[in-house]
Structure 1
Amino acid sequence: MPIISDFEDATELLETYDFLLKFIIIGEAGTGKSCLLHHFTQNTFKEHSQHTIGVEFSSRTVNIGEKRVKLQLWDTAGQERFRSVTRSYYRGAAGAILVYDITDRATFTNLSRWLADARALASPHLVTILVGNKSDREEEREVEWSEASRWAAENDLHFLETSSLYGDNVEAPFLLAARSILLSIESGVLDPEKAGSGVSYGDRALRRFSNASRISFGSLSMASSRKGTMKVRLKGMFGGGGKCC
């Protein structure tokens, strides 16, 4: 069962935002998915992390250009015995963070299965970001950056490496996916009013982008209602195999 704290429930009622986006975090067990998500939402490393049982829920609100966006984040278990449960949460997802462990080749070898499931069950316009986690353990690396970058390019994915321990690049996959989704809305490719899109309008939405509020490719501004305001600049580094670390 998803875990939603009283704080999150109360915040859901108080916050205003332009768009609500559904994200799933997927990949093999032990890749650090929960730690990556915890660092993104809490700005700290998750000590004594245990394997996720089923699915856990969290959220965070960020600013992308002129738009305030709430990310609904579903952290799914990587163990095979939970697969029938977790796959049901893929439905209607607008974004997927696909995680492997750079120190464990088996977690990379199985990526195709995870990607195939996500693309079969989620939104037809699913945006997927490939994340190589545990970049702080370079001396134990089993998957080279160039190999993962090539696989990402072949599968039309954005790719970057992160360290959920030190927080390196943990913001980037979520912000990149959110920006890509908003650009699809702006271009008319994605319709938030269509069932299964993984996107819905919030109270602040104007139902269309005006020319004055077009999303800037030069920078992304991010604000957390819990942690104050931070700004992250992501300049021209997110091509299909561009290195982001």
Structure 2
Amino acid sequence: MSKKSYDHLFKIILIGDSSVGKSSIIFRYVDDLFHDSYVSTIGVDFKTKTINVNDNLLKLQIWDTAGQERFHSITYSYYRSAQAIVLVYDVTNANSFENISKWLRNVDEYAGEEKLKIIVGNKCDAEDLRAIPFEHGEKLAKKNNIEFIETSAKSNVNIDKLFRNLSKVLLEKGTKLTPDGNNSFKNYTGEADYSIKSLMSYTQSSVNSLKSGCC
């Protein structure tokens, strides 16, 4: 029997409206690539990346979901098995931000309120086109007792930080539970008292100098 190449497996799912940059975030993180245009995701897709966190090899299975309503019945079924859910909006698109509340309700309905969640405002380098101030995203996250960060897949701002810090929280919480036989913590669904504020501390000045649009 071949030796497993990782210590723990965590499933992270990205949800949000179409064209907010979910695929771009995943491609930037896993492959360090950015394309100006992507074909819309149909249903669900995923990529994997193995990282070292505190001497633990973590295999991240990162799921990309379609934002179009006709695929929602498919993507809902993936919520419950995920350890973390990343809700993405486009800071240049007010409708995508307004719809985050709807996405949160769907998560609570299909995955449970205790699921580890974070709101992500993507395309944060597009200051000339910004429709949603940083403070609005932060306020919405605080209202829902979850954390918030802004990212840019195009300029590679906070992409690694997002996934690495989520992984740290999942590892910290997961190690408090009894792992399954494969040591993957695949049955872990999160706890209501988690906090990633210290891990997700965000310095807005890191993107103030960025001017071009991005995904």
> Shared fold by TM > 0.5?
yes
Which residue, 81, 95, 100 being the options, matches 2:70? 81
User: What's the counterpart of residue 132 of structure 2?
Assistant: 143
Aligned length: 194
How do 1:11-160 and structure 2 match up within 5 A? 16-122=5-111, 125-160=114-149
Contact kept? 1:39, 1:170, Cα under 8 Å? yes
Cα distance change on mapping 1:150 and 1:124 into 2, 3 Å: closer
Question: Which runs of no fewer than 5 residues in structure 1 stay unpaired?
Answer: 1-12, 202-234
1:182 matched to 2:171? The reply is yes
Identity within the alignment, %? 35
CA spacing shift, 1:47–1:140, aligned 2, 3 Å: closer
Stretches (4+) displaced over 6 A: none
What value does the CA root-mean-square deviation take over the aligned residues?
2.5
In the TM superposition, what is the alpha-carbon distance from 1:116 to its structure 2 partner? 1.9
Structure 2 CA distance for partners of 1:136 and 1:70, relative to 1, 3 Å: same
Question: Is the 1:160–1:243 contact (alpha carbons within 8 Å) kept by the matching residues of 2?
Answer: no
TM-score normalised per structure 1: 0.72
Q: What do the CA deviations read for 1:192-215 (whole angstroms, capped 9, x no partner)? A: 439xxx8339xxxxxxxxxxxxxx
Q: Is the 8 A contact 1:95 1:178 kept in 2?
A: no
With the length of structure 2 as denominator, give the TM-score of the two structures: 0.81
Quote how far apart the aligned CAs of 1:156 are: 1.5
CA distance in 2, matches of 1:91, 1:150: 26
3-state DSSP of counterpart to 2:25: helix
Against the structure 1 CA distance between its residues 56 and 106, is the aligned structure 2 distance closer, same or farther, given a 3 Å change threshold? same
Q: Secondary structure at the match of 1:136?
A: coil
What's the CA shift string for 1:208-236, capped at 9, x where partnerless? xxxxxxxxxxxxxxxxxxxxxxxxxxx94
Distance 1:111 1:191 in 2: 33
Contact 2:174 2:185 in 1 (8 A): no
Give secondary structure in 1 for the equivalent of 2:61.
Answer: strand
Q: Which residue of 2 aligns with 1:238?
A: 200
Q: Does 1:193 align with 2:180?
A: yes
Q: CA deviation at 1:14?
A: 7.5
Are 2:107 and 2:113, in contact at CA under 8 Å, matched by a contact in 1?
A: no
Contact 1:192 1:199 in 2 (8 A): yes
1:107 deviation in Å?
Answer: 0.4
Question: What amino acid is aligned across from residue 193 of structure 1 in structure 2?
Answer: D
CA shift for structure 1 position 91: 2.1
- Shift in Å, 1:52: 0.7
- What amino acid sits opposite 2:144 in the alignment? N
Q: Which amino acid aligns with 2:134?
A: W
Amino acid in the other structure paired with 1:200: K
